A and B are shown apart, each in its own frame.
Chain A
Amino acid sequence: MKFNTRRVSALVALTLAASAALTACGSDDGEGGGGGDSASTITFLPKNLGNPYFDASSTGGERAVGEFDGTFEEVGPTTATPDAQVPFINTAAQQGVGALVVSANDPTALGSALEEARDAGVKVVTFDSDVDPEYRDIFVNQASAEGIAQTQVDLIAEQIGEEGQVAILSAAANATNQNAWIELMESYAAETYPNIEIVETVYGDDDDQTSFDKTAALLQSNPELKGIISPTTVGIAAAARYLSTSQYKGQVALTGLGTPNQMREFIEDGTVTSFALWNPEDLGYLAAHAAHALVEGDITGEEGDTFTAGDLGEYTVGADGEVLLGDPTVFTSENIGDFDF
């Protein structure tokens, strides 16, 4: 072959140097990622990575895993679709990890992959978003629908002095979660606070601009309005933004489900006094402890099993293998500084 010897030797030298460097990097990664006993590994698989909500739940999970000396791993797709989650479930089965803690992008599509993982000895815990019960051992539920509905009604009642007109700014008109909560809110308010009247429900479609416009329209068409409940994080932030620059600031109360990072400025400027959401960090913490209890064989996911989840205390497995985190956390100017999600 007509190779230029000098260039070839330069090329060979470069290749050797590069492969040496790459091998060095590779072995570093190997020790960091693949090390440890895989049976004590708890792998978190959120809906997608780079989502502050799941960053918080993974922080909680990692803290819990640190408490019982396991190995914590977090993997996940960049887009929140079920087909993108399946390869990660398969990988966990190949690695034979102790437990997989999943927030599912679809209730059935992950089913067969999860079944195969369980056949390979992996315990499966779902959190935040469940799969059909036959595909997992335990579902850690962030909050019951009743708890969510009651907390929001209690908050608005407290802020408006238990009487007056209240409206609801929801997500899409066919949003399953929101509609269930609204129904429960209406019946709870009618029973507990007879002087509160829920006059209207409007839908902002979980779109910032639409929610903003609907808030404006709501306030114009209901001059007597004393409070707004928005059981969606997009809606409450848009409504707060409208109120903060309008004449209604401080006159009309606003509460609902929001994240501390979105709502911080409105708590600070007094537009909003309090709002609620389950704490995702606690959710991840509880899910990791539930996974650990399954791996250790302390529980099997049967109704009535009990386990201790670190400093959250004792939990009991309910019907269909559900574990309930508890009532949502209420955020006010007093505690909002403690949260970052």
Chain B
Amino acid sequence: MSASTPTKAPTASGPGTGASAARTYPSYARPAWQRWLLTRETAIIALLVVVLVWANVNVPNFDGPLTVYYLFLDLMPILLIALPMTMIIITGEIDLSVASTVALTSVLTGVLFADAGLSFTMAALAAIAVGALCGAFNGFLVGYVGLPSLAVTIGTLALYRGIAVGLLGTEAKTGFPEEWTDRVKERFGETSYPQVLVVFLVLAVVFAALLHFSGFGRGVYEIGLNDEAARFSGVDVARTKLVLFLLAGAVSGLAGVYYTLRYDLARGDAATGMELQVIAAVLLGGVSIFGGRGALHGVVAGVLLIGVISSAMRLQGETENVTTIVIGLLLVASVVAPRFLAWASGRMPTGAKGPLGRLGRRPSA
């Protein structure tokens, strides 16, 4: 509880040095270690570690060599799509059409490879391009026409899924080249880590640089906080949104190609409901649905947390419904918890002082 001293330190040093006499308040309300550690991202990472340790000790076979391998193979599409989805949600928008884009690009890969006779590489690249086009269409309607993304992407969710199912009907395409399907399942030597992780890691670095270390990324946060203000401070709001939706479409296309190879199957009903899994993981990872806050490391932890929980519960023999209930409760808790903690620490969002502040200050006084 003596941690409240830093708040006093600047005021003490201020008059003494004289140099910074103009500033009589601290630069930050909390010391650096608190700002870095007491965040939702850290909380989710801590929870992930706790669940991992718990599962390793208590869940039979969780410590086996196959667990991590299957975990990453199953989570790969969600991990990939969560990257652009994080940025979209930080701008205060949403993209519900990603899973339909996965299905459409998967079906296209199948049709172009099996029926049109393209090489697999060409079919996959064409499918990813179509994915980008699907995303650009969303982005154009949201950014330039100014329609609400919820309405636009509910529409394209149905549209892209409809085209996907229409292209193949009840049929399914299989028999993709083994050199490619094997490549997806390849591991690093004797470890449990699939090689496709490299694709994710590269993209994660690119997206982290874009969001956290570039002017474009600062624009993304500004749009989420107040897009009028962002526009007046020189952010091209429409173009930023177009780029983000286009990225989401392209990455969904990549996930669609992955999906096709992982299951050696292209079907119109692939990845049904995955958009909600992605959005749930992003929100669990500490991104605000109102926009303006969130970070990629929290989102990656959020995806992994959901994956580890489902994997552990499947090994325990729980049904899918129970897992869904647990993840739903966790999501609600993650939304409620910050307010609850604020209440517990007496640090209400409004900056409530009075009795709470007095109680807190007593030890240091």
**Chain A interface (Cβ within 8 Å of chain B)?**
1-5, 7-8, 11, 26-27, 29-30, 32-34, 38, 49, 73, 75-79, 81-83, 86-88, 90-91, 93-96, 106, 108-109, 111-112, 120
On B, residues with C-beta under 8 Å from A are 1, 3-4, 34, 58-61, 64, 66-67, 70, 74, 172, 174-175, 181, 185, 259, 263-265, 267, 269-272, 310-311, 314-321, 343-347, 356-357, 359-361
Complex alpha-carbon distance, A4 and B357, angstroms: 9
CB of B60 to closest CB in A, whole Å? 5
Q: Which of B34, B315, B319, B347 contacts A34 (CB 8 A)?
A: B315
Residues from chain A with Cβ under 8 Å of B270 in the complex = 81, 83
Give the top 4 A-B pairs by smallest Cβ distance, nearest first.
A2-B360, A33-B317, A109-B265, A90-B70
Residues B346 and A108 in contact, CB atoms below 8 Å apart = no
Residues in B with CB closer than 8 Å to A27 are 58
Distance (Å) between the CB of A12 and the closest chain B CB? 10
Contact of A4 among B59, B66, B269, B360 (CB under 8 A): B360
Contact B66 A93 (CB under 8 A): yes
A32 to B60, CA, bound (A): 12
When chains A and B are docked, how far (Å) is the Cα of A76 from the Cα of B320? Answer: 8
Q: Which of A91, A93, A112 contacts B185 (CB 8 A)?
A: A112
Q: Are A30 and B314 neighbours in the complex by a CB distance under 8 Å?
A: no
A79, B321: Cα distance in complex, Å: 11
Contacting pair B34 A75 (CB below 8 A): no
Task: Tell me, rounded to whole Å, the shortest Cβ–Cβ distance linking B197 to chain A.
Answer: 17
Give the residues in chain B near A88, CB-CB below 8 Å.
314
Contact across chains for A94 and B70 when beta carbons are under 8 A apart: yes
Q: Closest CB-CB distance, B140 to chain A, in whole Å? A: 31
* In the complex, residue of chain A having the shortest beta-carbon distance to the beta carbon of B74: A87
Contact A87 B70 (CB under 8 A): yes
B181: A residues at CB distance < 8 A: 112
Q: Given the interface contacts A2-B347, A11-B344, does A108 sit within 8 Å of B360 by beta carbon?
A: no
State the majority secondary structure of interface residues on A.
helix
Across the interface, which residues of B come within 8 angstroms of A5, CB to CB?
A: 359
Q: Which residues of B contact A30 (CB under 8 A)?
A: 58-60, 316
Task: Report the separation of the CA atoms of residues A3 and B271 in the bound assembly, to the nearest whole angstrom.
Answer: 45
Q: A81–B267 Cα gap in the complex (Å)?
A: 10
Nearest CB on A from B296, distance (A): 25
Q: Which residues from B are CB-within-8-Å of A79?
A: 272
B344 near A2 with CB under 8 A, answer: no
- Given contacts A34-B59, A83-B270, A93-B66, whether A2 and B316 have CB atoms under 8 Å apart is no
| Residues in A neighbouring B357, C-beta threshold 8 A | 2
Which among B270, B314, B360, B361 has the highest number of chain A CB atoms within 10 Å? B314
Give 19 new A-B contacts, CB below 8 A, not counting A2-B361, A106-B267: A1-B34, A1-B360, A2-B4, A2-B346, A3-B345, A3-B360, A4-B359, A8-B345, A29-B316, A32-B317, A34-B60, A34-B315, A75-B317, A81-B267, A87-B74, A90-B70, A94-B66, A109-B267, A112-B264
**Bound CA span A217–B176, Å:** 45
In terms of DSSP, what is the predominant structure of the interface of chain B? Answer: helix
Q: What residues of chain A lie closer than 8 Å to B359, measured between beta carbons?
A: 2, 4-5
The answer on a CB contact under 8 Å between A83 and B66 is no
Q: How far is the CA of A31 from the CA of B185 in the complex (A)?
A: 34
Contacts of A94 in B (CB 8 A): 61, 64, 66-67, 70, 315
Of B66, B181, B317, B318, most buried by chain A (CB within 10 Å of CB) is B317
Min distance, Cβ A201 to any Cβ of chain B, angstroms: 20
Whole-angstrom distance from the CB of A80 to the nearest CB of chain B? 10
Chain B residue with Cβ nearest A48? B320
CA distance A26 to B309 in the complex (A): 13
Contacts A94-B66, A94-B315 given; indicate if A78 touches B345 (C-beta within 8 A).
Answer: no
With A4-B359, A95-B315, A112-B185 known as contacts, the answer to whether A82 contacts B263 (CB < 8 A) is yes
| CA gap between A1 and B175 in the complex, in Å | 61
How far is B346's CA from A8's CA once the two chains are assembled, in angstroms?
10
User: In the complex, which residues of chain B have a beta carbon less than 8 angstroms from the beta carbon of A96?
Assistant: 61
A34, A90, A109: the one within 8 Å of B317 (CB):
A34
CB distance from A265 to the nearest CB of B (A): 31
Q: Is the CB of B61 within 8 A of A111?
A: no
Task: Assess the A109–B344 pair: CB atoms within 8 A.
Answer: no
B345–A4 CB distance below 8 A: yes
Query: Which residues from B are CB-within-8-Å of A108?
Result: 174-175, 264-265
Residues of A within 8 A of B67 (CB): 94
A12 nearest in chain B by CB position:
B344
Whether the Cβ atoms of B263 and A86 lie closer than 8 Å is yes
Give, as a whole number of angstroms, the nearest-CB distance from B313 to chain A.
9
A87 to B310, CA, bound (A): 10
Residues of A within 8 A of B318 (CB): 29, 33
A-B contact pairs, 23 of them (CB 8 A): A1-B1, A2-B4, A2-B346, A2-B347, A3-B344, A7-B344, A11-B344, A30-B60, A33-B316, A34-B317, A38-B60, A73-B317, A81-B270, A81-B272, A83-B259, A83-B263, A83-B265, A87-B310, A90-B66, A94-B66, A94-B67, A106-B267, A112-B181
The answer to whether B344 and A106 have CB atoms under 8 Å apart is no
A residues within 8 A CB of B271? 83
Question: What are the residues of chain A within 8 A of B311 when measuring CB–CB?
Answer: 91
B1, B3, B66, B172: the one contacting A109 at CB < 8 Å is B172
CB nearest to B66 among chain A residues: A94
Distance in Å: Cβ of B44 to nearest Cβ of chain A: 17
Taking a contact as CB atoms closer than 8 A, the residue among A38, A76, A81, A120 that contacts B66 in the complex is: A120
| Neighbour of B4 across the interface among A1, A11, A91, CB < 8 A | A1
Min C-beta distance of A176 to chain B, whole Å? 11
Question: Smallest distance from the beta carbon of A107 to chain B beta carbons, Å?
Answer: 8
Task: Name the residue of chain A whose CB is nearest to the CB of B343.
Answer: A7
CB closest residue in chain A, given B269: A81
CA A86 to CA B77, docked complex, whole Å: 15
CA distance A94 to B311 in the complex (A): 10
Q: How far is the CB of B37 from chain A (nearest CB, A)?
A: 11
The chain A residue sitting closest to B184, CB to CB, is A112
Chain B residue nearest in CB terms to A93: B66
Closest to A108 in B: B174
Contact residues in B for A90 (Cβ distance below 8 Å): 66, 70, 74
Which residue among A30, A83, A87, A96 has the maximum number of chain B CB atoms within 10 Å of its CB?
Answer: A83
Q: Is the CB of B314 within 8 A of A87?
A: yes
A213 to B153, CA, bound (A): 38
Query: Which residues on the A side are within 8 Å of B320 (C-beta)?
Result: 49, 76-78
